[in-house]
Chains A and B, each alone.
Chain A
Amino acid sequence: MNTTEGLNVTKRLQNELMQLMMAGIPGVSAFPESDNLLSWVGTIEGAPGTVYHGLSYKISLKFPVNYPYSAPTIKFTTPCFHPNVDSEGNICLDILKDKWSAVYNVQTILLSLQSLLGEPNNDSPLNTYAAQMWDKPEEFKKHVIKIHNSAN
């Protein structure tokens, strides 16, 4: 890492942390894992009215040194039964891949993930089993809870 680059990304992430804490958005949060500002842990609560309501998911956020010009790598660390999340916690979401833009930030990512939970993109599933079951909410919810609790 070149020094200016390291300083720039640090400054950017410190600002984001500050903004995020001041905004205090209900249902989502994120904080650096340790004194390494390039690695954060986030929490997303399932929104009311969705099958994920009442459940809380941990995610990991790894920022590259050229963040925000490249997207961070985001994974669910709590097991998540969802059409666009695979069994390793990898996520298929366009804004984290080919539609990434440097105007996005941690807050946008957290909110996008929260809405992805309730509104999956069933056209490009990573978990086809979950995608097929999406139309049967009761059965789907049972799976969601079972998988979520398998972590404990």
Chain B
Amino acid sequence: MDSPKENDINYADLTDENIINYENLIKEDEEKKPLVSEYDVIENYKVNYIDSEIFSKKINQLKNDCKGYRSVRKDGNCFYRSFSYKYFELINKNKNSKWSQEMKKIAKDSINVLTSVNFEKETIEDFYDFFMDAFDPQKFREISFVDEYTSNGIVFYLRLICSAELKINHEAYEMFLEEPLDSFISRQVEPLGRDVDNVQIMAIVNALKVCINIAYLDSTNNNVNWIKFGEEYQKDANSPVINLLFTPGHYDMLYHNDENV
């Protein structure tokens, strides 16, 4: 079944039940898609929104910097999934570089960071193994983002990394929260399917010491807006950066013009 097309929706008849039905249709449709799509050129990127003229103008603007994209499933884990795919892809592409070695070391130590904030080793080991396995290029290609169980394990481990960083350096994040930290973590960070806010992005950037550059596409007339998180971790112009694309409610991956695909 296809998700509803714009002209299938009868706006005069938007009852709660209809809205839920449309939502379920979209959800079913999403679940048939792969977790991470194949690479495609940026011209083919589709934004599923009503005012598409403005978005196609912005996709055109993006072409100045980016040549391609990969989409991830819209299941509330899109930031974590996009980020982790790009992270492992960049590290594995040039696995003997100094940067890749540093990244791997931080990832390897992460289990000790997590146990230091009272996660039990036995409880988190399986997720840690899924995460570390993705540094093996073959497992990365064939299992890590193909098998849903493994991929969700990686997403969950990244959520735990975020959670631990929020706890350890809480004074850096608490001022951005509207609820106590513990409650924020148990409601917004650890459960699968919860979207990120800037706080979670900052925590992941700081925990893994990596730079993320996000292109924000919204429905305003302004130009595409790029925001960099963790610029201090981009030590020189050659250090890899994780490029992501944000459209209202969703994150996907971007490939910069000078990136090898």
Contact = CB atoms under 8 A, between A and B. Distances in A.
B191 A103 contact: no
Interface in A77-110: 98-103, 105
A99 B149 contact: no
A99 B186 contact: yes
A127 B153 CA distance: 36
A9 interface: yes
A103 B187 contact: no
B191 A98 contact: yes
Given A98-B187, A101-B190, A8 B122 contact: no
Main secondary structure, interface of B, reads helix
Interface residues of A, number: 17
Contacts of A2: 147-148
Contacts of B123: 103, 105
B181 to A, nearest CB: 14
A69 B124 contact: no
B100 interface: no
Nearest to B160: A103
A5 interface: yes
Given A4-B147, A5-B148, A12-B126, A103 B192 contact: no
Interface of A: 2, 4-5, 8-9, 12, 19, 66, 69-70, 98-103, 105
Interface of B: 119-120, 122-124, 126-127, 143, 147-150, 152-153, 156, 160, 186-187, 190-192
